[in-house]
């Protein structure tokens, strides 16, 4: 069946599985239903080893220092997981393994984890081998979309495998996270809407170059451009034809080149990459803060 991304549809209620009545019940590590800790997870748990606490919900296992930080994370994580899986038309009920989420609070602990895990210095969160690692500063009220971004990576890898190309993986994660984060807060009475920042015209990457990238830019200044333009391309293609974008997504996950997947998904709409770029570039460099459609 062709993938259909219903990114314009309604979100499910954010509070259906909330732990709103209290903190996450703590469990001993040996009591967790899924104790499969990865090598990177072991590195995380080695930082202030005696202070980690543990808990779990339907789809996640949590490792944390304070329950007042972990409980909101658990509410968000379950909400994002349901929304993204639904939009990707994936049935998660038969997936038995749980994703482990490691929640850091102190900047110095996160820096130590970055060092131990050999992470890029700009990394604010990471999905690796089915586990999520992120920092949640107790002093910051609005936590941002990092968690939603990493949950999107989790769902994509679980149900499409590791073959999704870098630009599409990051672009979809940025797009889904922005919309999910806004929907989560709207459900709680806040006037929140997703936003997307335009790419500076002088830093625009040709579509052929963007979609052919196998690694992140070495220049840190270009990393933000890569993320932003990838998100804009996902958003553009989804708005042009949601069903076509789903076909393209499936094709690329199975190894098709971008031009081949574009033809499969969009037929005669874009006869080649040059035709796509003529329409996409003005959209990509639209003024900063352009609102996303819900």
Same domain, 208 and 117: no
The token pair that represents 241 in the structure block:
């034809």
Percent above pLDDT 70 for the chain: 83
Q: What is the pLDDT of residue 2?
A: 34
Give the CATH number, domain containing residue 115: 3.40.30.160
pLDDT surpassing 50 at residue 19: no
Alpha helices in 88-133 (DSSP H): 107-117
Output the pTM of the full model: 0.81
- Residue 10 has a CB neighbour count (10 Å cut-off) of 8
- What lies within 8 Å, CB to CB, of 260 at 6+ separation is 251
For the cut 60, the answer to whether the pLDDT of residue 121 exceeds it is yes
124 lies in the same domain as 216: no
Same domain membership, residue 142 and residue 99: yes
Q: Is residue 274 in some structural domain?
A: yes
Sort strands 290-291 and 60-64 into parallel, antiparallel or unpaired: unpaired
Residues 191-212: tens digit of each pLDDT: 455 566 788 989 999 999 999 9
Taking CA atoms, 85 is separated from 95, 108, 261, in Å, by 12, 34, 22
Residue 176 falls within a domain, yes or no?
no
pLDDT at 123 (0 to 100): 82
Residue 9 covered by a domain? no
> What pLDDT digit, counting tens, does each position of 210-219 carry?
999 999 998 8
pLDDT digits (tens, 9 = 90+) for 26-58: 999 999 999 999 999 999 999 999 999 999 999
Its domain, for residue 149, covers 29-162
Domain for residue 199, yes or no? Answer: yes
Place of tokens 């009920």: 93
Contact between residue 161 and residue 130 where contact means Cβ atoms under 8 Å apart: no
Phi and psi at 103, nearest 5°, equal -110, 110
Task: Name, in order, each residue with C-beta under 8 angstroms of 199's C-beta and a sequence gap of 6 or more.
Answer: 205, 225, 228, 229, 232, 284, 285
The arithmetic mean of pLDDT across residues 90-106, rounded, is 90
Provide the number of structural domains found in the chain.
Answer: 2
Is 168 contained in some domain? no
């Amino acid at each position: 069946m062709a993938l259909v991304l219903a990114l314009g549809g309604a979100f499910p209620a954010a509070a259906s599985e909330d732990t709103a009545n209290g903190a996450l019940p703590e469990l001993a590590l040996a009591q967790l239903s899924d104790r499969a800790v990865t090598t990177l997870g072991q590195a995380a748990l080695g930082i202030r080893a005696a202070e980690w606490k543990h808990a779990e919900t339907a789809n996640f296992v949590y490792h944390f220092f304070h329950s007042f930080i972990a409980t909101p994370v658990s509410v968000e994580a379950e909400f994002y997981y349901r929304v993204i899986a639904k939009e990707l038309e994936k049935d998660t009920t038969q997936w038995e393994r749980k994703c482990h989420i490691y929640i850091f609070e102190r900047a110095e602990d996160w820096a130590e984890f970055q060092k131990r895990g050999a992470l890029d210095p700009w990394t604010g969160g990471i999905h690796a081998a089915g586990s999520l690692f992120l920092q949640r500063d107790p002093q910051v009220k609005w936590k941002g979309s990092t968690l939603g971004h990493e949950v999107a990576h989790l769902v994509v890898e679980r149900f499409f495998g590791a073959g999704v190309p870098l630009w599409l993986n990051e672009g979809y994660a940025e797009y889904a996270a922005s919309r999910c984060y806004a929907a989560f807060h709207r459900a709680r009475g806040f006037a929140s809407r997703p936003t997307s920042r335009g790419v500076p015209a002088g830093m625009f990457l040709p579509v052929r170059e963007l979609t052919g990238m196998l690694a992140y830019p070495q220049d840190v200044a270009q990393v933000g451009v890569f993320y932003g333009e990838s998100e804009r391309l996902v958003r553009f293609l989804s708005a042009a034809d949601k069903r076509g974008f789903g076909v393209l997504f499936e094709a690329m996950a199975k190894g098709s080149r971008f031009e081949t997947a574009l033809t499969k998904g969009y037929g005669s709409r874009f006869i080649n990459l040059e035709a796509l770029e003529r329409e996409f570039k003005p959209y990509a460099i639209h003024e900063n803060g352009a609102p996303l459609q819900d």
